[in-house]
Amino acid sequence: MKKDTSTLTEELDSCLDLSVFLRDNQDEMIAREVGSEIERIRKAKKISKVDLARKAEISEFYLYQVIGETRKPSRDKLLCLCLALSCSAEETDRLLRLAGHGNLYIRVKRDAIVQFALQHQWTLEELNQKLEEEGEAPL
């Protein structure tokens, strides 16, 4: 994604043909479903499904259900996937919104720890250890 939302809004406001706008900006659109977006990020980062499931500490079957849109991940499972995908804070918040969960909120201690882990590319094991040290529930 290269264009910000205001640029896309301006283009849409001035366009005469919606089909042209959609075609020209298809790479700017986010997936409607969380599984599709996880799959897009996974492919872009060249991570195999097997490695993703292993790093996120979820079963391959569960991952296939999420990617196939037959199962919505819980907030914690989605955060595990974000960590395994080395997602940025922006990518993580987008995935959380798509799944119907709240964004990471820095004023919530647990969320602040998760955000720090994402920024510093911690492993899930490192994050869970820190959460437990701080008296917070692990993912």
22: in domain: no
Tell me the pLDDT tens digit for each residue of 2-32. Answer: 888 899 999 999 999 999 999 998 878 765 6
What would the two tokens of residue 101 be? 């969960």
> 24-39 burial, b if ≥16 CB within 10 A, otherwise e?
ebeebeebebbbebbb
3: in domain: no
What would the two tokens of residue 134 be? 């701080």
List the CATH number of the domain containing 77. Answer: 1.10.260.40
Tell me the pLDDT tens digit for each residue of 40-90. Answer: 999 999 999 999 999 999 999 999 999 998 999 999 999 999 999 999 989
Tell me if residue 46 falls in helix, strand or coil.
coil
Domain count, the chain: 1
Instruction: Give ∠ CA 113-115-117 in degrees, rounded to 5.
Output: 70
110: in domain: yes
Residue keyed to tokens 């720090």: 116
CA 111 to chain centre: 15
Q: Tell me the chain's radius of gyration from C-alpha atoms.
A: 17
Does residue 32 or residue 105 have the better pLDDT? 105
Q: Provide the domain limits for residue 92.
A: 31-133
- Residue type at 54 in one-letter notation: R
* pLDDT of the residue at 111: 97
Q: How many helices (H) and strands (E) does the chain have?
A: 9, 0
